[in-house]
Each structure stands twice: as structure tokens, then as C-alpha cells.
Amino acid sequence: MLIAGIVIILILLLGLSLYNGLIRKRNAVDNAFHSIDVMLRKRYDLIPMLVDTVKGYMNHEKEVLTRLTELRQAVIAAPMAMNQRVETDNSMMQLFSGVMVSAENYPELKASENFLRLQGAINETEEQLAASRRFFNAAVNDYHDAIGTFPSAIVAGMMKLKRISYFTIDDDKKERPDIKLS
């Protein structure tokens, strides 16, 4: 009787420890996603700066600039599901890259101090965003290991924990703005 009691207590303690471990890993994923969110917002804040800096120089890209502004407004106006957010973000980045490449055709723009500062700011944000993505993917990997391996998989099943998508960018959308370091 006593032995059965001890075994039950040990099983409960193990279950509790596994439960807490899984919660910590899920929180780590949330925390990592939050850091991506912060960086994405930093990137969105650069869009009005970019538009203000280039609009006086670029005559043929007005439509692109308008589309970029619209996308930014859409993404900050209402919360989006993660997948939709990634899609919108990738579309923005394509337009963003396009504007930066087009800037090569405007020597005066390229030489302006505001544009150079902006290039630096974009590069900095991209580096931080890449770091946040890597942290998120590492946290997701840890979480997947926990929910997929014995014995925590049993507790994860009882908690109905599901796999989470990695933060990946399609290969054709991986291009970053062409930035030269000062």
C-alpha cells in the first residue's frame, strides 16, 4: 500500500515537472515570437521614413510607394494571423527591396545623408530581425523536441499541444535590400 502510494506520488511529481517544462517551452516560443513582432514593427516604422526620403527623387516609382504605404497601414491597423502576417511582411519586403534597387538610378538620392542613414537603419533592423527569427526557430525546435519525445509527449498529448510553424521565408522572397555598409 505504502509502495503504491510512493509510486503514485512519484508519477504525479514527474507529470508536474513535465507539465511545467512544456509550459516553459511554450512560453519561450511566445516570447521569441514577441521579439520578432517588435522587430517587424521597427521595420514598419522605417517605411514612412523611406517614402519621405525617396519621394522627392523618384518619379517612376510612385505606385510602388503607395502600395508600400497601404500594406504598412493594413498590417498595423488590425491584428493578423501569423501566416498572413509573414505573407504581408514578405510582400512589403519585396517592394522595399525594389525601391532600394531603384535608388541606384538616382545618384543625388544615393548621396543624400538621409538616404545613407536610412540604409544603415534598414541594415541594423534586418540584422536584429534575423536574430529574432533564429531565436524563434530555436525555441520552436526545443518545443517540438519536448512534445515529440517520451515521456513528455504523453503530457503534451493530454495538454493538446500542437506543432508550431517555423518562421521561414520563401527562397524567392529571401532577398534583402541591397545595402552597402558605410
Residue 152 binds another protein (CB under 8 A): no
Whether the CA torsion 50, 53, 54, 56 is positive or negative: it is: positive
User: Which 25-54 positions form the footprint of another protein (CB under 8 A)?
Assistant: 32, 35
Site string for another protein, 66-105 (x = CB under 8 A): ----------------------------------------
- The amino acid at 23: I
Q: What is the CA radius of gyration of the chain?
A: 23
What is the DSSP code string of 123-160? HHHHHHHHHHHHHHHHHHHHHHHHHHSTTHHHHHHHTT
* Residue tagged 503504491 (cell numbers): 4
- Binding residue for another protein (CB under 8 A) from 85, 110, 123, 153? 123
Minimum CB distance to another protein smaller for 90 or for 123 = 123
Interface with another protein by CB under 8 A: which residues?
A: 32, 35, 117, 119-121, 123-124, 127-128, 130-132, 134-135, 138, 142, 181-182
